[in-house]
Amino acid sequence: MTDLIVTNLETVPGREIIKHLGIVQGNTVRAKHVGRDIMAGFKNIVGGELRGYTELLTEAREEATQRMMGEALEKGANAVINVRFSTSSITAGASELYAYGTAVVVQ
Amino acid sequence: MGLLTIGILLLIGIIFGTMNERNHFSRIAKAEEELSDIKVFNIKTLPDNVEPGGALVTGNVVIAVDYFKVFVAGFIMLFGGRLSGFEKLMERARREALVRMQREAKALGADAIYNTRIEFSAVGQRPKKIGGAELFAYGTAVKYL
DSSP string, B78-142: HH----HHHHHHHHHHHHHHHHHHHHHHHHTT-SEEEEEEEEEEEES-BTTB--EEEEEEEEEEE
* A1 band by pLDDT with thresholds 50, 70 and 90: very low
Kindly determine whether residue A10 and residue B125, on different chains, have CB atoms separated by under 8 Å.
no
For chain B, give the percent of residues with pLDDT over 90.
Answer: 48
Residue A13 vs residue B127, higher pLDDT: A13
pLDDT at B124: 65
- Between A94 and B17, where is the model more confident? B17
Indicate yes or no: pTM above 0.95: no
What is the average pLDDT across A20-49? 82
The residue among A39 and B4 whose pLDDT is bigger is B4
Q: Give the pLDDT confidence of A46-103 residue by residue, as tens digits.
A: 888 888 888 888 999 999 999 999 999 999 999 999 999 998 877 776 788 999 999 9
Task: Return d(Cα B49, Cα B40) in angstroms, integer.
Answer: 16
Q: What is the pLDDT of residue B129?
A: 56
User: Are the C-beta atoms of residues A30 and A97 closer than 8 Å to each other?
Assistant: yes
DSSP secondary structure code for residue B66 in this structure: -
Mean pLDDT for A23-39 is 81
Residues 12-71, chain B: which have Cβ within 8 Å of A? 12-13, 16-17, 20-21, 24, 44, 46, 50-56, 58, 60-67, 69-70
The predicted structure's pLDDT at residue B84: 87
What ipTM describes this predicted complex? 0.86
| Strand order across the beta sheet in which A48-49 lies | A48-49, B55-64, B132-142, B112-123, B39-40
Alpha-carbon gap: A41 to the closest alpha carbon of chain B (Å): 8
Across the range B16-44, mean pLDDT stands at: 92
Cβ-based contacts of A92 with chain B (< 8 Å): 124-126
B117 touching A (Cβ < 8 Å): yes
